[in-house]
Structure 1
């Protein structure tokens, strides 16, 4: 039997969402430049989702907005938050997909699963940073995933339906993702994302906090948002009423 040359599957990816709140091209350009100067390596060639829910439709120049964002070395994956049909057409004509969010995504996924059971031959599923925020946990965590070696820059480790324990250091540019809790018994300088499938009860525990990004169930902090008194210290990060909260473990 001949094997197929391609395979299409659903998957989860952690993406930053850039909220555009002004039609002023110069203001957008200056704001992006200022933000990128803070963390040039973090944002360089970063894939992002654009949220345009706060944009005024009056005098909007979508092409210019798209060009100025790309000029700062961002890769635009798609656009969300667009409710105007005319703007949707402009965005699609510019080569970008419109991404659905919230309950609409859940309904689409349910329909896809039903169709799969009926042997429909082809499906396309879209996943983004905002899906993870709204998606409810449907499966329980399984056996804990344990990593004993250092996690190098560029490595990504995903513990699906599981907790993740790392007993070594995590370098800048590395990424830890788990549907459950994440424990790091070493210094962490990369990205740490717990509760990736929407579990708001997930926690992050670490013994030396220097992370580039911390996230639980889609709520996240960049390094400049982490309180300075916790940098380099042992800490627990969790959600309290959907707000990221940090406590000392020492």
Structure 2
């Protein structure tokens, strides 16, 4: 028998589910010219560079820079994207007709910038007035990890920097809203500034990464300069491009 509170609600302990907010890292496919004959050959080539990274990856289709007069079959477009083993789950922006077609395809409209927080209940005081939420802390200590980050592990430093004093293995993923420091070999995936901080940087003692990314701009291992491999480097954004330099 399920326990029921005095208000007739199922108790949290006995409820068959939990509803809570969360955040996930997703790639954004910025669509500039969906009618281009080179669009899908170029996309297929990019996927082939890192198939394990892209395969079944959820993505958001960004239509924000499409002109109002553009006309194309969104459903067919989404189908061709899925043929590359990418999984479109949402969209952002675009002309009204494109947005209507996207909704009809089952895509979810996504907000810009930082993900919206799901607020299920807001506390009130004795007079029934909403209580202001506590201010965000001005300083949040960096997340420090002293053990090697094994394959299949994902670490996320929310609202702060991530410092790994060991190595990051192939198949592991480290993410941070701020900077990422790896005082060992970086062999997995490193994504810094994932909430949009273009000033974030990645520092590592040995660059052997599968993917590096800052504020959504990424580079896969096949695109890395061979002269920088297994060297101590810093990675940053410079005029909208990912720049990798020796330390």
Normalising by structure 2, we get a TM-score of 0.76
> For the residues of structure 1 that align with 2:139 and 2:192, how far apart are their CA atoms?
12
2:72 to 60, 68, 73: 60
Greater displacement, 199-208 / 18-27 = 18-27
> For the residues of structure 2 that align with 1:206 and 1:172, how far apart are their CA atoms?
15
Residue 122 of structure 2 aligns to a residue in which SS? helix
In the alignment, structure 1 residue 79 sits paired with structure 2 residue 85: no
Residue 87 of structure 1 aligns to a residue in which SS? helix
Residue 81 of structure 2 aligns to a residue in which SS? helix
2:82 to 42, 58, 70: 70
Deviation (angstroms), 1:40: 1.8
Task: Show the counterpart of 1:129.
Answer: none
Task: Show the counterpart of 1:14.
Answer: 25
2:182 to 167, 180, 184: 184
Task: Show the counterpart of 1:162.
Answer: 160
> For the residues of structure 2 that align with 1:117 and 1:22, how far apart are their CA atoms?
47
Deviation (angstroms), 1:158: 1.1
Normalising by structure 1, we get a TM-score of 0.76
Deviation (angstroms), 1:139: 4.7
Q: Deviations over 1:138-197 (max 9, x none)?
A: 654423322222212221001223322212221222111123322112111211122334
Greater displacement, 38-47 / 192-201 = 192-201
Gaps of 5+ in 2: 6-10, 126-135
In the alignment, structure 1 residue 116 sits paired with structure 2 residue 114: no
Q: Deviations over 1:66-96 (max 9, x none)?
A: 11111121111201132x2222121111111
Task: Show the counterpart of 2:110.
Answer: 99
> For the residues of structure 1 that align with 2:236 and 2:193, how far apart are their CA atoms?
10
> For the residues of structure 2 that align with 1:23 and 1:242, how far apart are their CA atoms?
22
Aligned length: 225
Q: Deviations over 1:3-51 (max 9, x none)?
A: 1444443333221111233343864332222222222222111111112
Q: Is the 8 A contact 1:151 1:168 kept in 2?
A: yes
Q: Is the 8 A contact 1:23 1:61 kept in 2?
A: no
Q: From the CA coordinates, give the structure whose radius of gyration is larger.
A: 2
Task: Show the counterpart of 1:146.
Answer: 144
Residues 68/200 of structure 1: CA separation in 2 closer, same or farther (3 Å cut): closer
> For the residues of structure 1 that align with 2:205 and 2:105, how far apart are their CA atoms?
46
1:245 to 234, 243, 246: 243
Q: Is the 8 A contact 2:198 2:215 kept in 1?
A: yes
Task: Show the counterpart of 1:124.
Answer: none
Name which structure has the greater RCO, CA cutoff 8 Å, separation 6+. 1
Greater displacement, 19-28 / 69-78 = 19-28
